Structure formats: structure tokens, C-alpha cells
Amino acid sequence: MSMLSGKRILVGVTGSISAYKSAFLVRLLVKAGAEVQVMMTESAKDFITPLTLATLSKRPALSSFMGDPNTGTWNNHVELGLWADLLVIAPSSAHTLARCAHGFCDDLLSAVYLSAKCPVFFAPAMDLDMYRHPTTVENLNRLTSFGNHIIQAEHGELASGLVGEGRLAEPETIVQVLERHVAGRPVLKGKHILITAGPTQEPIDPVRYISNHSTGKMGYAIAHAFSLAGANVTLVSGPTGRSLPDRAIRRIDVRSAQEMYEATAQVFTEADVTILNAAVADYTPLAPADRKIKKAESVFSLELTKTIDIAATLGTRKQPGQLLMGFALETDNEHTNAVKKLHAKNLDWIVLNSLRDAGAGFGHDTNKVTVIDKDEQTVEFALKSKQGVAEDLVTLIEKKLLERGLE
């Protein structure tokens, strides 16, 4: 479930060639479960029809104070400003930025902006030189000083044919910014969270490798949840083929267990919290062949050597104030084995998965976990989506950080 589910969102659309993207934005917000009310400036109608936005939002797109002339109703800007949980003006033309920055109030959108009690987001869209012009820069700074949020324009090809900053942020990016704002947790803001995810691949020869069934779904869900909560997230990922769930996440791609260790160890000293979710191979071929091994003998032996134990190694390097969470996937004596790992590797928590639990483990969109802390206090969670599990882990770590802050 999206963080925007049930939120009431006003979407302001202004006169810009990128107004067509507002249709995609509205569609994504509705799909996320938000209630969306579109407001348009008169010039916006030159680029996209009110009917299009009304159909997507399931509400009439408003552009004037006059409502139904037959009944004498009107579109009350004060009520709209009070109704909304969020106001996002996307695209925000240079003209609209200037009007809002200086308090001009000659249409419904600007009147609602001045009346709004909710957080306001401006997503500028204009040509390169307009975006860089000192007047626009000053207006953006002025709006920021009022407590508004700016969703920066992106770099790319513009309608004029120039290439540079000025493109409206992609609708997916705008939605992520809104989700991050709604999900933000002050105690996590600015905290550095290091997460490992996915499998490792241990080369046998140039075309074959040893691996496991990990898909990376759980680790990527954890990274997404922490990023939405306002943390700075570094994700060290084995080969998964998964796309990054949030552009704010820094991803480091690795292949082998040794590469995962080296990448993780390099970032570990900077991390406030490290979550080791990756399914790292325990063994790797001792001497990988540099050429493809031909099928010849009926029996083939492969000599393996242990890989470095990332959790145990980082556990010995953990500094006061750092938190370390590991994962254990077990098939028997689950609780006993998990507790042994918890203490042997100097973890603050271990998250236990049992392959005996239906719908848990590799490949599923759901998971069922038991979290054990270093005092062996145990919390069992019900089967839920992996995103739901990730949010539970965010809450657990947030609580620990809050406790430390009060000590």
C-alpha cells in the first residue's frame, strides 16, 4: 500500500508544454489510492483538456471560481485549501512561480495556494535560460523561504531543442517525493542506512557460477522503506535484474561474495545502521577456470573454499552507536540457530525466516519474519507483503534510535 493512500491531493496544472505529464501524474496518484482534485490555469487548457484530467481524477477539473451557474454554486478556494493534505503544482510555469512568490491572486489556483494550510510542492518546467534566469532563481528561493518545497527540474532535451535543466521532473519522481514527505520520520532523517540485497554469484568458469534463489525483493523493499522515511540509503546489490525503487537510493552493484564484502566494508564505517539481507554464498570455487570447462568425465569434482563471513567481520568492527541487523534463513532448529548467529556475529538483531512457513523466503512477494534482539527478546510478525515487513523493520529501528536519543 502506498503512503499516499487516502491522502487528499490538489494538483495544480499551469501553461507549459509539459502539462501532458500531469495526466500521468494524476493517474499515478489515483492508482496509489489518493483522492485527487485537479485545478488548472486558463493557459493550461491550451496544452491539455480539462476532460482528460477530470476523467483520470474522477472529479471535475476546476479552473474558475464559478461552479454551476444554474445553482449559483462556486469553487471555494478556502475550502479547497483546507481540504487538501498536499498541494503540488506540476508543471509550475515561470509565470505561476512569480505570481505565487509575490502573492498575486487573480485566479483559482493562486487563491488556493494563498489559502492552503498543507505542504505545497512546486515542480518547475520551462526552457533552460528561463530556469537559470536570476528572476526565476530568486522566485524559487523566495518560495522556499516561505516553507514551500521545490521538486527540482531535471536535465534533458527541452521543447526548444536545447539540452539542459528545465524539464519537468518525471511523474514517478514527483510521486516518490510526495511519498517520502508523507512517510518521513524525523529521527531517521539524515541517518545513513547501509543495506545488502540479492544473491552472490561465485564463478566456476567464464560461463558458469554457483548461486542461490534470492531475488533481492526483501532487500530492495527495505531500501525503499528507509528512503521514504527520510534516511540516506546505500544499497549494495548482488545480481538481481531489479530496478531501483527510488532514485534517492545509492546503489553499488557487485557480483561475488568478496566483492560484496569489499563494497560493504568500505561504506560500513559511515553507516549508522547496517542491514545485511543479502544471501551471500558460504563457499566459492577455490580455483575458477579461465576457460569454459568442457563436459568430459561422468563425475566432476569442484573444490570449494569458504567465503568471508561479512556479518561476523563487520560485527568485530562495529563501533559504539552503530546498529547491525542480520538475516537468517533456516530449515530446522530455526530459533536456536538464529540465536547462535546473533551472538556469534555481534548483531543487535537477527531476522529469522523459516522455509517451513508458506509464503515466506525466496521468490515470494510476501514474507513472515521473527525478529530477535541481542537480549533474546523475540517479536513474531504475521505473514504480510515484503514492503509491509520492511516498514515493520523501519519502525523497530526507529524505536531503538529514539530510545538512544533519550538515554
CA distance 215 to 165: 36
Name the domain boundary from 182, 209, 230.
182
Element (DSSP H or E) covering residue 157: strand 154-157
Q: Do both 86 and 211 map to the same domain?
A: no
Residue 72 is predicted with a pLDDT of 60
Q: Contact 367/386 with Cβ under 8 angstroms?
A: yes
Catalytic pick among 76, 212, 337, 346? 212
Q: Do both 245 and 333 map to the same domain?
A: yes
Residue 365 is predicted with a pLDDT of 83
Q: How many domains does the chain have?
A: 2
Is residue 189 annotated as involved in ligand binding?
no
325 bridge partner residues:
275, 349
Is residue 292 annotated as involved in ligand binding?
yes
Evaluate whether residue 75 is within a structural domain.
yes
Q: Contact 131/124 with Cβ under 8 angstroms?
A: yes
Is residue 381 annotated as involved in ligand binding?
no
CA distance 105 to 100: 8
Q: Is 346 a catalytic residue?
A: no
| Residue 247, C-beta contacts closer than 8 angstroms, at least 6 positions apart | 173, 176
Residue 69 is predicted with a pLDDT of 62
Q: Do both 158 and 243 map to the same domain?
A: no
Residue with cell string 533481492: 216
Q: Do both 178 and 243 map to the same domain?
A: no
Evaluate whether residue 127 is within a structural domain.
yes
For residues 261-285, one letter each, b for 16 or more C-beta atoms within 10 angstroms of the residue's C-beta and e for the rest, the string is bebbeeebeebbbbbbbbbbbeebb
Taking alpha carbons only, the member of 303, 233, 315 closest to residue 271 is 233
Element (DSSP H or E) covering residue 149: strand 149-150
Q: Do both 164 and 206 map to the same domain?
A: no
Largest CA distance in the chain: 90
Name the domain boundary from 167, 182, 197.
182
Q: Do both 175 and 260 map to the same domain?
A: no
How far is residue 402 from each of residues 176, 187, 346, 406, measured CA to CA in Å?
Answer: 25, 7, 21, 6
Residue 68 is predicted with a pLDDT of 64
Is residue 327 annotated as involved in ligand binding?
yes
- Omega before 239 within 30 of 0, i.e. cis: no
Residue 384 is part of which domain span?
185-287+301-406
Residue 192 is predicted with a pLDDT of 97
All three cell numbers of 345:
556475529
For the chain, 407 residues long, the average pLDDT of each consecutive 10-residue run is 88 96 97 96 95 96 77 79 94 96 93 94 93 93 91 86 88 92 87 97 95 94 92 96 88 97 97 97 94 88 95 96 94 92 97 80 83 94 89 93 73
Q: Contact 179/4 with Cβ under 8 angstroms?
A: yes
Residue 160 is predicted with a pLDDT of 82
Name the domain boundary from 149, 167, 182.
182
pTM of the model: 0.75
Taking alpha carbons only, the member of 99, 104, 95, 105 closest to residue 65 is 105
| Residue 114, C-beta contacts closer than 8 angstroms, at least 6 positions apart | 77, 81, 103, 105
Is residue 341 annotated as involved in ligand binding?
yes
